[in-house]
Amino acid sequence: MLKKQSLPKVAAVAAIFVAIILWRPTVLIYGLQAAGLYASIAIPMGLVLGIVHIVNLAHGEIMMVAAYSSYMLCSWLGIDPYISLIPVAIITAIFGFIIYRLTIRQTLKAPELNQLILTFGIAISLTQLANIVFTSQTRKMSFSYVSASMDIGELSFGIYNFVFLVAAIVLAYGLKFFLHKTVAGKAALAVGQNPRGAAIVGIDVDKTYGLIFALACALVGAMGAMFITRSAVFPSVGSPFTMKSFCLIAMAGIGNIPGILGASVLLGVSENFLKAFRATRGWADIVFFVLIISVILGRSIRGKRA
């Protein structure tokens, strides 16, 4: 439903987009590709944070664990990441389930702050363990299909990274289907809205939390496997994604999974906009932080008025 006031805003955003495409088409292309990566990592976190309300600051680290797993499968056994994606997802699902059972479950009833600090501790532990096991050296694999490119007129650009955009769209709508059409998904929604009420109507609340947490870990694990096709792996590779994911979820509004896609496009395109100019290239990283702060503040002020 479009409100009247938002029409000028939509028109302005559309106008800006058209201007960007005409002026620097690569800004839009690479922006969309980056958006795909951000969204596909953020969406599993959106499931955990938005639907069952568990704060997991170790989200990016789970992806890091998956990236290393997939890296090892590839370098030792020569398994392509797109094939190892499934075993890796299973590994991270089990790993996530264990983390849930051993730690997060104990803090569900404690103040939210305990969960925040606990998962912060898990994130640090995983990063540092990776540091001990793999050292801080960056590792990169190369795959022939990554260099696929396309020419339109004089413009030539890599198309491989669009695969992340596809993944993000599949994830967003797949999860929407899961939550609204399947029994387990409906149970998760019920638990998220009111755990006590859900227990009364016979839903196994503990199992639902565990399942959703493991599912999110499996999804971000699959993304971690795909991640190594495009980027290098190192112990702290995941942590920026935790924050970016959180930001995107906050922008979309907690619980709105498809909205994460839109937020990612905004972030990806604005970052690439700054990257397109030499003078502003170094400032591209700041876009995200400025966005997160303005979005969180905007929401809190609007929340106050309501």
Partner 1 sequence: MKLKASWLAAALLAVAAIILPAFLGAYPLNVARSIMTYMALAVSWDMLLRSGQISFGIAGLFGLGSYASALAVLRAGMSPAASIVFAVLFAGLVAFGLGFAILRLRAMYFSITTLALMEIFRIIMHNLHDFSGGPEGVVLPAILFNGEAKALYWICLAGLFVTIAASVYFEKSKLHLALTAIRNDEISARTSGVNIFKYLLIAFVATSMLQGLMGAIQVQSYGFTMPDTAFDANFTLLPLAMALLGGIHSTIGPMAGAVLLGVAAEWLKLKIPYGHLVVYGLIIILVILFMPKGLYGLAKDKFKKSHDNRVKGKLS
C-beta of residue 91 within 8 angstroms of C-beta of residue 252: no
Task: State the minimum distance, in angstroms, from the CB of residue 192 to partner 1.
Answer: 16
What distance lies between CA 263 and its chain's CA centroid? 11
Q: Are 260 and 46 in contact (CB under 8 A)?
A: yes
CA distance 34 to 227: 12
Using CB under 8 A as the binding rule, the residues of this chain from 44 to 63 that contact partner 1 are 55
Window contacting partner 1 (CB under 8 A); options: 36-44, 119-127, 154-162, 217-225: 119-127
Cross-strand bridge partners of residue 149: 158
Using CB under 8 A as the binding rule, the residues of this chain from 231 to 250 that contact partner 1 are 243, 246-247, 250
Which residue has 């398994």 as its token pair? Answer: 79
285 makes contact with partner 1 (CB under 8 A): yes
Of 6, 75, 128, 194, which lies in the binding site for partner 1, with binding defined by CB under 8 A?
A: 128
Could you tell me which of 252, 97, 244, 257 has the C-alpha nearest to residue 185?
A: 257
Sign of CA dihedral 86, 88, 93, 97: positive
Is position 256 an interface residue for partner 1 (rule: CB under 8 A)?
A: no
Nearest approach, Cβ of residue 9 and partner 1 (Å): 22
The answer to whether 89 and 218 are in contact (CB under 8 A) is yes
Q: Which is nearer to partner 1, 161 or 245 (CB)?
A: 245
Exposure b/e, 154-170, CB count within 10 A at least 16 = b = eeeeeebbbbbbebbbe
Q: Which is nearer to partner 1, 89 or 233 (CB)?
A: 233
Q: How far is the CB of 263 from partner 1 (least distance, A)?
A: 15
Nearer to partner 1 (CB atom), residue 130 or residue 217: 130
Structure tokens at 195: 């755990």
Residue type, 165: L
Interface with partner 1 includes 276 (CB under 8 A)?
Answer: no
Binding status of residue 226 toward partner 1 by CB under 8 A: no
Binding residues for partner 1 (CB under 8 A): 55, 103, 106-107, 110, 112-114, 116-118, 120-129, 131-132, 135-136, 243, 246-247, 250, 282-283, 285-286, 289-290, 292-293, 296-297, 300-301, 304
